[in-house]
Amino acid sequence: MAVDELLGAGGLLKATIEDIEKAKAKARVRHPAWFKDYARLERDAVEINFYNNHDVPGLLQTEGRIRALYEMRKPLLDEETIEQRVASRMSRQEILTGWPPPMITSVIEETVLRRPLGGREVHGEQLEQLLKLGRLRNVELQVMPTDRSEHAGMGGSFILLTPKGKPQLGYTEAQSSSRLITDPEEVRILAARYGSLRAQALTMRESLALIENLLGER
């Protein structure tokens, strides 16, 4: 930067400003109260399994899609809240690049991949992101075709999460309310349901091929 060069600071001012900006970004991370418990557990998870029937898992969303989703929220959110929510969701994605990364599997409905939320450009970027993530060694993506005559997930979306050194638990949310499921029998039922969903969905190879085809149709 010009001031750094003028004062002969050797890049010190530039580095300091970058550190300040990073600190500001972290300060903007504010999860909704009803989501904080899950966010804390997700940071330490060794395995996360998603079933989504209306959207892409937040952990796999692009910044453009995240912003579009919050901008279309009703009742309307103010700009500061939108920025905080975007920063919070993006901060969660740091676990994807950490080591060791958690094992992540996801079953996403085909209709989600065909609905251009945020516009076609934003949607295209999201499809490209899914292709990129789906090729990672620790990520397994599967698509549930719309034409399936049997479907184990008609009760709605859910997450199965395994924190390090702790038993697996479940998580559901709807209309800004959430529930952590720790009862072993309830978790067992969700796990069995998720196993059926993966069996009914396309294989990982077929799923990535479908996403590629959808990108080609844009």
Local confidence pLDDT in tens for the 218 residues of the chain: 554 565 565 666 555 556 555 544 444 556 777 688 899 999 999 999 999 999 999 999 999 999 999 999 999 999 999 999 999 999 999 999 899 999 999 999 999 999 999 999 999 999 999 999 999 999 999 999 999 999 999 999 999 999 999 999 999 998 878 999 999 999 999 999 999 999 999 999 999 999 999 999 86
d(CA 65, CA 125): 9
Q: Which of 88, 75, 5, 8 is nearest to 42 (CA)?
A: 88
Cα-to-chain-centroid distance, residue 100 = 18
Alpha helices in 11-78 (DSSP H): 12-27, 36-43, 63-71
Q: Is the peptide bond before 101 cis (omega within 30 degrees of 0)?
A: no
What letter represents residue 162's amino acid? T
pTM of the model: 0.83
Looking at the DSSP assignment, which residues form a beta bridge with residue 212?
Answer: none
The DSSP result for 96-154, as a single string, is GTSSSPPEEEEEEEHHHHHS-TT-HHHHHHHHHHHHHHHTSTTEEEEEE-TT-S--TTT
**Considering the chain, what is the average pLDDT of its residues?**
90
Residue 153, token pair as written in the block? 């997930």
Name the one residue in this structure whose structure tokens are 């990108």: 215
d(CA 55, CA 114): 11
pLDDT in tens, 70-101: 999 999 999 999 999 999 999 999 999 899 99
Domain boundaries, the chain: 1-29, 31-217
CATH class of the domain defined by 31-217? alpha beta
How many CB atoms neighbour CB 163 within 10 A?
18
Q: Which of 167, 161, 160, 164 is nearest to 192 (CA)?
A: 160
pLDDT number for residue 27:
43
pLDDT number for residue 12:
60
pLDDT number for residue 35:
80
pLDDT number for residue 177:
85
